[in-house]
């Protein structure tokens, strides 16, 4: 028990004193996971909307791929990205191995399918007659899609948060392609693993609390947005 209490006391101290290593890892996590999620939103939300609303050849296959992608093992993604950006790999000239770009790439591959798949579900959950009503009101196809996406904004927000939540808590891919370099590619999850392996439980607790705090804040924000949208 003393080990735990000592670790917790040290964790609190590190957080209150804004420990430099802690801040660097938190910052790296937010930057990499934020970038990966942003890229996933930019590409995944329109693709998800197209899959949800469109009727074209290959749509079913793409939806199946997105759904499969939601369950991709991070280490498999890490392996794939590592081989791709390895010095002698197809994209070796980019020299991304052991960089934040590598982590962002791996996390993008993990977040995007979740955002695509859940966005498709979100827009499909709208009454199909609403599309007809918008067309009847004189909406162009783009206007209709924009209005339907706005109408399903809460579910799309949930999709984005699910994508972010998945990548900020993953470790396998980031460790494999980022190499856990202190002050650069060391993110919260890889730092927790490292500190735990060294027996530095105070540092590990502090990192874990910050990670949990970020995840809690995101969920609180999502819940607040959902509750705010409920009719009074």
Partner 1 sequence: MSGTILEAEDFAVARGGREVVRAHELRIREGEALAILGPNGAGKTSLLLALATLLPFAGRLRFRGSSIDRPLAFRRRVAVAFQRPLLLDRSVRENASLGLALRGVSRRERDQRAHDALVRLGVAHLAGRSARTLSGGEAQRVSLARALAVEPEILFLDEPFSALDAPTRETLVADLARVLRARGVTTVLVTHDRDEALSLSDRVAIVMGGRLRQIGDAASVFATPVDSEVAAFVGVENVLPARVVSVTEELTTLRVADHLVEVTADVPAGDDFPLLCIRPDDVIIAREPGPTSARNALAGTILRLEPIGRRVRVLLDCGFPLVAHVTVRSARELGLAEGDVVTASFKATLPHLLARHRAA
Query: In the complex, which residues of this chain contact partner 1 (CB under 8 A)?
Result: 127, 129-130, 132-140, 143, 147, 150-151, 229, 231-232
Which residue number, 103 or 149, has a Cβ lying nearer to partner 1? 149
Residue pair 2/76 in contact (Cβ under 8 Å)? The answer is no
Question: In the bound complex, what is the minimum distance in angstroms from residue 125's beta carbon to partner 1?
Answer: 12
Q: How far is CA 152 from the centre of its chain?
A: 20
**What is the nearest approach in angstroms of partner 1 to the Cβ of residue 126?**
10
Query: From CA 21, how far away is CA 165, in angstroms rounded?
Result: 22
CB of 124 to partner 1, least distance (A): 16
β strands within the chain, DSSP E:
none
Q: CB-based contacts of 215: which residues, under 8 Å, 6+ apart?
A: 165, 168, 169
Distance of closest approach, residue 139 Cβ to partner 1, in angstroms: 5
For 222, other C-beta atoms within 10 Å of its C-beta total 18
Instruction: Please provide the distance, in angstroms rounded to a whole number, between the alpha carbons at the two ends of the chain.
Output: 48
For partner 1, the closer of residues 99 and 152 by Cβ is 152
Tell me whether residue 2 or residue 127 sits nearer to partner 1 (CB atom): 127
155 vs 173 by CB, closer to partner 1: 155
152-166 CB burial, b ≥16 within 10 A, e <16: beebbbbbbbbbbbb
Q: Which is nearer to partner 1, 32 or 152 (CB)?
A: 152
In the complex, minimum distance from the CB of residue 59 to partner 1, in angstroms, rounded to a whole number:
19
Both structure tokens of 53: 């609303």
Minimum distance from CB of 127 to partner 1 (Å)? 7
- Burial class from Cβ neighbours inside 10 Å (0-12, 13-18, 19+) for residue 80 reads middle
- Residue 188: how many CA atoms within 13 Å on its side-chain side? 23
**Measured from the CB atom, is 17 or 140 closer to partner 1?**
140
């Amino acid at each position: 028990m003393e080990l735990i209490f000592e670790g917790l006391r040290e964790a609190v101290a590190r957080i209150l004193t804004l420990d430099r290593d802690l801040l660097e890892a938190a910052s790296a996590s937010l930057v990499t996971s934020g970038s990966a999620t942003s890229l996933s939103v930019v590409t995944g939300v329109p693709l998800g909307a197209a899959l949800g609303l469109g009727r074209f050849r290959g749509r079913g296959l793409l939806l199946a791929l997105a759904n499969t992608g939601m369950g991709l093992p991070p280490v498999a993604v890490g392996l794939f990205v590592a081989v791709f950006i390895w010095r002698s790999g197809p994209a070796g000239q980019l020299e991304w191995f052991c960089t934040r770009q590598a982590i962002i790439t791996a996390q993008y591959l993990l977040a995007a399918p979740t955002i695509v798949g859940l966005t498709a579900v979100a827009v499909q959950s709208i009454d199909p007659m609403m599309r007809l009503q918008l067309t009847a009101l004189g909406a162009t196809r783009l206007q209709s899609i924009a209005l339907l996406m706005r109408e399903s904004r809460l579910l799309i927000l949930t999709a984005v948060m699910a994508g972010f939540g998945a990548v900020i808590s993953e470790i396998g891919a980031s460790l494999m392609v980022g190499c856990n370099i202190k002050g650069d590619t060391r993110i919260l999850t890889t730092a927790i693993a490292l500190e735990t392996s060294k027996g530095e439980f105070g540092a590990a607790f502090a990192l874990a609390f910050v990670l949990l705090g970020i995840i809690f804040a995101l969920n609180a924000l999502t819940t607040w947005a959902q509750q705010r949208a409920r009719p009074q």
